A = this chain, B = another copy of it.
Amino acid sequence: VLDKVCPIDEAVSGVTDGAVVAIGGFGLKHSFPVSLLAALRRQGARELTLVANSLGRGEQSAEALIDAGQVSRLIVSFSARPGFDSSAEVLIAAGKIELEIVPQGILVERLRAAAAGLAAFYSPTGVGTSLTAGKERRIFSGREFVLETALPVDYALLRAHRADRYGNAEFRGGSQNFNPAFGKGARTTIVEADEIVEPGQIDPGRVGLPAVFVDSVVQATMRVVPDVTDGRRRPATARRAYLGKPGWSRGEMAARIAREIPDGSYVNLGAGMPSLVAAELARREVFLHAENGLLGYGLPVDAADQVDPDLFDAAGAFVEPRPGMSFFDSVTSFEIARSGRLDVVVLGGYQVDAAANLANWSNPGQIGGGVGGAMDLVTRPRTLIVMMQHCDATGSPKLVDTCSYPLTGLHCVDIVVTDLGLFRYDEGQWQVRDTAPGFTAAEVMSLTGLSNARRNQS
């Protein structure tokens, strides 16, 4: 009888030096195929190309393959997370690892294209940014697109909730993420599962990756569940002072943004500061979208004993279920992002400029960085809100004439909320529409780096 279950070391035994290996999983620690990654370390293949959204963090992650010297090339959305040292970035800087940063929605779309037998596609993501520099451009219906090629891989290492002996894999909640598309796009697909069951025990409508795409099933030997505090942000009440007067706290900025979001909206909140807006929307009929494949999820979970390990948002924070929620994979998640169906996207920002350009993913001169889903998210939301401190750590305004940081998207920002006020882009200009208490619009505008706007104001 057909039985794809095999010992874990046997499953990875065929990985050759130089192989291209795609790895499912999300963020720092969520739903990575940690048992298979450990087996691949034991197996020892070298000169690997790793394809992943992020590498994870620590001993039980793809980072450990890098530390073991097994990796020569990365195709990722995140080569590092802000605030963490990354051994990958050290090796990249030393020229020992080749790096290709790909926007998250395009990464999964390129593997999915390979699965679908397509050679290439024209994408709106990252047009005009450094990540599409040198790619073929083409106008369709008056809009510019870039050519992205299919990315076939040799192996996919995936993590499933359950799998049957035939190879059918079932995923749960936000742990579905890249797994189906990576599994479909690989020549050889290996699934580690918490539980291996007999054919017929998985509801045929809950199979996330049909058996035809799966070559081997292995029993997971470990599972990493992040701490309940990982990815969490508590509302910050501290206020910075400008002209001797306090601005809005981060919590107040979040509350101000929530007022811009009508009931019935579908909303994506970026990691970091924007995730504070979630609490403001908790009791309203607003549907939160997370890139890892959730729509309509609830509040962050506070207590470790209430954690569902598969229910986490794109910032990696565990969240509560909510009636009317749905789960899907990263392909569908970025269809939502790029289809124009999202009403509001709230992202953090390094800089926004006079042309409504956004820079929020990398510093000038930085090697690598984390573009994540931002470039896909800014392609077509009805309203893009950028939430950022009015000035950076050096005291320089973040609303500027021309972005000096690498761009995320062109002409895409509708609203900026800083700790000093709310700006709306109207008739090609930034206009102050609200201010922190005690500030005039002229004061707030004078504290930006916008020379035109300051002149108009005076």
A positions within 8 Å CB-CB of B: 1-2, 109, 112-125, 138, 140-141, 143, 145, 149, 164-166, 168, 171-173, 184-185, 198-200, 202-207, 210-213, 263-264, 266, 285, 287, 289, 295-296, 321, 323-328, 331-332, 334-342, 379-380
Q: Which residues on B sit within 8 Å (CB–CB) of A331?
A: 116
Which partner residue on chain B sits nearest A121 by CB separation?
B121
Cβ of A207 and Cβ of B342 under 8 Å apart?
no
A109 contact set on B, CB distance < 8 A: 116, 118
> Are the C-beta atoms of B326 and A207 separated by less than 8 Å?
yes
CB within 8 Å for A205 and B120 given contacts A199-B323, A211-B324: no
A59 to B337, CA, bound (A): 39
The complex places the Cα of A117 from the Cα of B141 at a distance, in Å, of 13
Bound: A62/B379 CA distance, A: 35
Is the Cβ of A296 less than 8 Å from the Cβ of B120? no
A168 to B296, CA, bound (A): 11
20 contacts between A and B (CB under 8 A): A114-B339, A117-B337, A117-B339, A117-B340, A117-B379, A118-B338, A119-B121, A119-B122, A120-B140, A121-B122, A164-B324, A165-B324, A171-B205, A172-B205, A184-B339, A205-B327, A207-B327, A210-B328, A212-B289, A212-B341
Chain B minimum-CB-distance residue to A297: B204
**Is B211 touching A296 in the complex (CB atoms < 8 A)?**
yes
Complex contact B295–A211 (CB within 8 A): yes
Distance (whole angstroms) from the CB of A142 to the closest CB of chain B:
11
